[in-house]
Amino acid sequence: MWTFIHKLGSPPWFFGFSGTLVRWLLPITVTLLLVGAIWGLLVAPPDFRQGNSYRIIYIHVPAAVVALAGYYVMAFAGAVSLIWRIKMADVTMRAAAPVGAVLTAIALVTGAIWGKPTWGTWWVWDARITSMLILLFLYLGVVALFEAYENKTAAARACAVLSLVGMVNIPIIYKSVDWWYSLHQPASIKFTGESAIDSSMLYPLLLMIVAFYCLFTVTLLLNMRAELVWTHRESGWLKQLVGGS
C-alpha cells in the first residue's frame, strides 16, 4: 500500500498508470451514465407527489453529492501537498477545483429547474440549494486564488491553506444554513417528511451516484494528465513517450 502511494507521487509512473485506468474507466463511466439516465428517465415509475419532474434528482443529487466529496478530495490533496510537498498532490488539487465547481453549478442549475414545476419558482432559498451556492463560491475562490498567483508552487500552497480552512468550515456552514432555514421556513413551500424512497426509484439513483463518482475520477485524471504533459515537456521520460508514439 505504502509503495503504491509512493509510486503515485512519481509523475512518469502516474502517467502510465492513469493512462491505463482512464482507458478502462471512461467506457465504464459512459455505460453507467447511459444506463442510469435511461433507467431514471424511462423505466422508473413517477413520484406520486411530484410526478415526472422528480426524474431530475437522478442528476441533481449525484452532482451535489460528488461536488461536496470533490471538495474533500481537493482539501485532502492540499494537506498532502502542504505536509509532504508532493508535486502530484498540487496537480490533483489544481485539477479537482474546476471539476468540482462545474458539478456544483450543475447541481444548482438542475435544482432550479426542478424547483419550477415543484415549488412554482426557479429559485427558492432552500437550505440545500443555499449550501450548494456557498460551496460554489468556495470552489470559485480556490480557482481564482490559483489563477491570481504567478508562481504556481506558491499558488498551490495558498490554495491548500484556503481549501483546508474551507473543509473545516463546510460542516459548520451546512449545519448553520440548515438551522437558518428551519427557523425561516416559509409555510407555503414546506416540504414535510421525506417519504421512504421506493427501491424502484432508489436503484437508478445509486447507480447514477456511482456513475458520477467514476466521472469525477475520469475527468480528474484527464485534467491531471493534460497538466503533466505541459509541466513535464522538458523531462526525459515524456520526450521518450512522445518520441515513441
Partner 1 sequence: MTSPADVANPLLFFFMVITLFPLGLGPDPARLATLAPGVLWVVALLASLMVSAKLFASDFEDGSLEQLALAPYPLAVTALAEVSAHWLATGFLLALVSPIFGVMLGLPEEGLLTLLVSLLLGTVCLTLIGALGSALTVNIRRGGLLLSLLIIPLNVPVLIFGTTAVREAVLGGNPESWLALLGGLALGSVVVVPLAIGAALRVSLDS
Partner 2 sequence: MYFESLAAVWHMDGHGFYVWLAYALTALPLVLMVWLPVKRMRQQWRWLQAEQRRSGAATAAQTPAMESDL
Amino acid occupying residue 231: T
Taking CB under 8 A as the criterion, the residue among 6, 85, 175, 239 binding partner 2 is 239
Grid cell locating 154: 506558491
Per rule CB under 8 A, is residue 53 in the interface with partner 2? yes
Q: What is the 3-state secondary structure (H, E, C) of 67-127?
A: HHHHHHHHHHHHHHHHHHCCHHHHHHHHHHHHHHHHHHHHHHHHHHHHHHHHHCCCCCCCH
Residue 83 or residue 242: which is nearer to partner 2 going by CB?
Answer: 242
Evaluate whether 208 touches 62 at the Cβ level (below 8 Å): yes
**Binding of partner 2 by 27 (CB under 8 A):** no
* Rounded-to-integer distance, Cα 84 and Cα 183, Å: 44
Is position 28 an interface residue for partner 2 (rule: CB under 8 A)?
no
Instruction: Name the binder of 151 from partner 1, partner 2, none, CB < 5-8 A by kind.
Output: partner 1
Q: Which three cell numbers stand for residue 48?
A: 406520486
Q: How far apart are CA 52 and CA 59, in angstroms?
A: 14
Amino acid present at 121? T
What region, left, alpha or beta, does residue 193 occupy, with left being phi > 0 and alpha being psi -120 to 50 degrees? left
When binding is defined by CB under 8 A, the residue of 61, 73, 74, 99 that contacts partner 2 is: 99
Terminal Cα-to-Cα distance of the chain (whole angstroms):
31
Pick the closer one to partner 1 by CB: 55 or 157. Answer: 157
Residue among 12 and 98 whose Cβ is closer to partner 1: 98
Paired residues of 51 in beta bridges:
47
Grid cell, residue 108, equals 444548482
Q: 165 is in the binding site of which of partner 1, partner 2, none (Cβ under 5 to 8 A by kind)?
A: partner 1
Site string for partner 2, 149-168 (x = CB under 8 A): --------------------
Stretch that binds partner 2, among 2-10, 123-131, 151-159, 225-233 (CB under 8 A): 225-233
Binding residues vs partner 1 (CB under 8 A): 82, 134, 137-138, 140-141, 144-145, 148-151, 153-155, 157-158, 161-162, 164-166, 168-169, 172-173, 175-177, 179-180, 183
20 binds partner 2 (CB under 8 A): no
Number of amino acids touching partner 2 (CB under 8 A): 42
* Residue 16 is a binding residue for partner 2 (CB under 8 A): no
CA 14 – CA 22 distance, rounded (Å): 12
Q: What are phi and psi of 220, to 5 degrees?
A: -60, -50
Task: Give the nearest distance from C-beta 142 to partner 2 in angstroms.
Answer: 17
Name the residues that contact partner 2, by CB under 8 A: 26, 33, 37, 41-46, 51-53, 55-56, 59-60, 63, 99, 102, 105-106, 109-110, 113-114, 116-117, 215, 218-219, 222-223, 225-226, 229-230, 233, 238-239, 242-243, 245
